[in-house]
Amino acid sequence: MPPSRLAGWFTRFGDRHGGVTRTELTPTTVVVTAGDGTSATCAVPFGPLPEVGTFDGPAVAGLVAHVARPRRLGLVLVRLGGHSVGVCVGGRVEVSRTDRRQVHGRSAAGGWSQQRFARRRAGQAREALSAAADDVVAVLGPEVSTLDGVVLGGDRSALAVLRADPRLAKVFALAEPRVLDVPEPRRTVLDDAAARAQSVELVVRDPE
């Protein structure tokens, strides 16, 4: 949910479900419960949320203001064989670097041929992830002290390899817990991720 639509969404949620009866605010989560027992849970992006507590009725103004605040964000999108890295402000990419490296798919052949193919593929994967790490260092390294957070996207196993690189410790220290689901990283995919970076994830649960 984009920040600009969040307040209206909570209003419509209350209208559909008998009004909001309770709001629970923690540093990382907001849970709104309606009169019919339906709840909406929001993971707070770029936390912690300043205001915490349990309130009667709707109390989401603090959350709306928090998510609407303009932020300077790093973006790291990685899939095996491709990556895109950038800095965005207000949903627009200011600086970026995108690269693709060939990584062959798995072979169905057996025996020594399969083993040679597997070694070749592993080598290609290492080179691709090394190139991705180098670009994160080049693009986000000089900017890390100016960033309000880092949004990740792509393949979790590839991101885990980058997270283990000691050069990227400060970058990943700012990373949000969520990982955006993205196709093969290209510049257009990075632009879309920039627009989604400050969006809020909402989970609606029916009454038990």
Whether residue 99 is found in the same domain as residue 176: yes
pLDDT at residue number 107: 47
Q: Looking at the domain assignment, is residue 205 inside a domain?
A: no
Rounded to 10°, the helix 3-16/61-68 angle is 160
- pLDDT (tens digit per residue) in 5-21: 999 999 999 999 999 99
Q: Provide the pLDDT confidence category of residue 175 given band limits of 50, 70 and 90.
A: very high
**Total number of domains in the chain:** 2
CA 192 vs CA 67, 84, 93, 197: distances in Å: 18, 12, 10, 9
Question: In a 10 Å sphere around its CB, with 0-12 CB exposed, 13-18 middle and 19+ buried, how is residue 184 labelled?
Answer: middle
pLDDT digits (tens, 9 = 90+) for 67-94: 999 999 999 999 887 899 999 998 999 9
112 has pLDDT over 80: no
Residues 55 and 129 in one domain: no
The model's pTM is: 0.85
Q: Is residue 99 part of a domain?
A: yes
Let me know whether 110 and 163 are in one domain. yes
Domain boundary among 23, 53, 69: 69
- Whether 202 is in a domain gets the answer no
pLDDT 10s digits, 129-165 = 989 999 999 999 999 999 999 999 999 999 999 999 9
Select from 69, 89, 108 the last residue of a domain.
69
Domain that holds residue 111: 72-196
Q: Are residues 158 and 84 in the same domain?
A: yes
